[in-house]
Amino acid sequence: MTAMKRILILLSLLAVASCHCRDHGTPEPRYRHILLRDFRTVYDGRVINYNIGTAAHGPATLNVLKKHLPADVDITIWASAPLDSTLSAMMERRFPEVRIVCGQYENPSEASPELRDAVAESDLFLVSSGSGIAVGPSLEQYRKHTSKPSGAYAIGYAGSEDKYLRGMDFAWFRDEISAGLAKEKDTTPSLTGWVPDAVFDFDCTDEAGAAGFMKAHGLSDRGFICCIPGFRYTPKWEFFGGHVNSKKQAKNDECLDRDNDILRRTIIETVRERGLKVLICAEQIPEVRLCKELVYDRLPEDVKPFCTYLESLWAPDLALSVYMHSLCVYGIEMHSQVMAAGNGVPAVVLRHSGFGNKSDMWNTIGLGEWLLDIDEDGASDRASAVIRSIIENPGAAAARLARAREIIDSAASEAVRRSFLICGENEIRTRETL
């Protein structure tokens, strides 16, 4: 192909693209009113803060969209029930302009007027970032009563949810393993791929609350690390009741002390060698008791004065604000570390066989050296070495996080452009053609 012919093709494609752009080439939104489905953990008639990672997904996805879409795109959140006071306060502080509707839409005549209006005004049902399509019933209700499109952003993949993927306009997956598995299925939409978990963009904060919390716990800015204990399988039955999964409980009983001994060892080294303080904290309600019973109470007496722990689960925005004052966040969880890393705080994930594919995102964004497998021999020594390196080389850690941030922002921008913007799609086709 001659240079002139390439130029002519380029000009013709750009002319087509410009038909769908506003003045000065601003991308035209494909959807004017997005109905974002999230806030789904209901207890006693309210959406509750049971897991700060789960609670962060909705506002984090909202933030991604607001960062990359034109300001006049309207976004409404569809929650399963009214938010509890903790989550309501968080949303009011960060997104006072965002409307939140709730309830079921199985029978539109019985739905709330607010939900009926939101469905009528919307032109896209969007599954928020998360472990999968936990809001499948709402998606089916939306499809049953409208002919409008749907999509999913930064989710995990489960084969049992293929029926929900069928018919979507797009589906983006939060780890490359999930994206690869989904692409093999004919139920997955053609517009698909990897995009970072939205919680990397969670930015709700509570600095006033953090100041009071840190004063009460004797913590100073950049003078402590955060440590998060965990189970192999979260015993949800301890809080919600219902059937006890005896197989999962047995695995917890087998591994709980051994897994969390890694945390105790790193705490002891951090305190004795550096004199730093340690905040033992939880990501989910069942983990709160582990902070004291399994970690703090089993520390040597000379180490305990340097340590403090949560006595109840904190709000996601308070957690992030405290993490941002720490030197490092590490533990047997995932989304506290996602929050931290997304906001420039070094974060180490101690994974096990029950983690699934989500931990692979650490490799994709260049943080693989901060991803450790606690089922392998020598995990405790490796964890101590990594945390020691982070504390001793803050500049190197900051540079690594900056590179990760570039990958996160680039991938999110590309996914939003391809899925939500008309010009974005044409621009990509132009590049691929040439």
| Residue 353 pLDDT | 87
Amino acid in the structure at residue 254? E
Spell out the CATH class of 207-392.
Answer: alpha beta
CA proximity to 37, closest of 94, 122, 108: 122
Res 8 pLDDT > 90: no
Joined together, the tokens standing for residue 114 give 């607010």
Per DSSP, which regions of 145-223 are E strands? Answer: 150-155, 170-173, 192-194
Q: Which residue's entry shows tokens 């699934």?
A: 356
Mean pLDDT, the chain, whole residue set:
92
- Which pLDDT score, from 0 to 100, does residue 13 have? 40
Domain 31-201 has CATH 3.30.930.10: no
Domain ranges within the chain, ordered by starting residue: 31-201, 207-392
Residue 228's nearest CA partner among 338, 122, 140 is: 338
Asked if pLDDT for residue 24 goes beyond 90, the answer is no
Which pTM value belongs to this model?
0.91
Residues 6+ apart with CB under 8 A from 25: 18, 423
pLDDT (average), residues 179-200? 94
pLDDT digits (tens, 9 = 90+) for 219-248: 999 999 999 999 999 999 999 999 999 999
- From its phi and psi, is residue 45 left (phi > 0), alpha (psi between -120 and 50) or beta? left
The mean per-residue pLDDT over the stretch 371-386 comes to 95
User: Is there a common fold for 31-201 and 207-392?
Assistant: yes
The answer to whether residues 326 and 225 touch, using CB atoms and an 8 Å cutoff, is: yes
- The predicted-structure confidence for 287-313, as pLDDT tens digits, reads as follows 999 999 999 999 999 999 999 999 999
Chain centre to alpha carbon of residue 320: 12
Handedness of CA 165, 166, 169, 172 (dihedral sign): positive
Return the H-helix or E-strand segment holding 126. Answer: strand 124-127
Average pLDDT for 381-409? 97
Distance of alpha carbon 304 from alpha carbon 277, whole angstroms: 10
Instruction: Give percent of the chain with pLDDT exceeding 90.
Output: 89
Confidence of residue 25 (pLDDT cuts 50, 70, 90): low
| pLDDT band, residue 354 (cuts 50/70/90) | confident
